[in-house]
Amino acid sequence: MSERSFVMVKPDGVAKGLTGEIVSRIERRGLEIVGLKKTVMTREAAEEHYGEHRERPFFGELVQFITSGPVVMMAVEGPDGAVAALRTMMGATNPLDSAPGTIRGDYALEVGENIIHGSDSPESGVRELGLHFPELS
């Protein structure tokens, strides 16, 4: 069996020139990037992507940040457990809680600008990939 995840290098990660490093880490882990694109996310796409946070006080800031510059979107595939492996590689949502060696632990300091997004479950991966890579669904 295999599973897919949606991974996105956020505007701060792109601005810091970390896209190549992140892609390299994913590939060195043995995961396959089956879709890749650089784009500026529209407000509508951002609101749909982060829809589960719509009622939270940080929703507006989140949408504003993710649409503030280019992002690099990836469809990543691997064996069962790939989503969990990616989550471990990314580190805790709060970079200050992330272990050294994780992407957030190595490159981020703030929750609001934490370099990378990854699906939190295989089901979220299906939903997010459907939004950003419908051709792979």
Catalytic residue IDs: 117
User: Among positive and negative, which fits the CA dihedral 12, 60, 117, 125?
Assistant: negative
pTM confidence score = 0.96
Neighbours of 40 (CB within 10 A): 13
- The whole-angstrom separation of Cα 54 and Cα 124 is 16
- The whole-angstrom separation of Cα 46 and Cα 50 is 6
| Confidence (pLDDT) at 137 | 77
Q: What is the pLDDT along the chain (137 residues), one digit of tens a residue?
A: 899 999 999 999 999 999 999 999 999 999 999 999 999 999 999 999 999 999 999 999 999 999 999 999 999 999 999 999 999 999 999 999 999 999 999 999 999 999 999 999 999 999 999 999 999 97
